[in-house]
Amino acid sequence: MKMLFKQRFFSWLDSYDIYAEDGSTLYTVKGVLSWGHCLKIFDAYGNELGKVKEEVLTFLVPKFQMYLGENHIGTIRKEFTFFKPKFTLDMNGWEVDGNWWEWDYEVHENGRHVATVSKELFNWTDTYSIDVDRDEDSLIVLMIVLAIDAAKCSQEK
């Protein structure tokens, strides 16, 4: 499954639309006013599916909790490194490997390729192309992309 992740141009809080290859809306993400980033994910019909919530009292390393419905499914944390950005994912043996700029990366589960994420350059807003091997992993991969994008935003401030 291929998805296109596009940040909305005019939005006070983080808002994103996620589209399928045919242009149909798969998910909508809406930022919620809170301490740290809190991003709620909705399906095309407006049903809340999950959320990504930043922990605010972490020292120099952004950390995000991921939820499917009300169930906590994992944590993603940016490690403190000098050169190559590294994210640690505490969830079902999943790992994130990316390049120095954090624009292109892959997700793996115990050696199995799960997804490839690439940032599209020269757009007005953050835009990512996400290629997920299995449709059932798309929501969790989206949560990882949201957390990494929010971690980059937090460090730019």
- The whole-number pLDDT of residue 80 equals 75
> What does pTM read for this prediction?
0.88
Using pLDDT thresholds of 50, 70 and 90, give the confidence band for residue 103. confident
Phi, then psi, of 135 in degrees rounded to 5: -55, -35
- Sketch out the chain's domains with CATH numbers: 2-156 (2.40.160.200)
- The whole-number pLDDT of residue 59 equals 65
Q: DSSP string of 63-82?
A: EEEEEETTEEEEEEEE---S
**Residues 6-21: pLDDT tens digits?**
876 554 567 889 999 9
- The whole-number pLDDT of residue 156 equals 52
| Percent of the chain residues past pLDDT 70, beyond the cut | 85
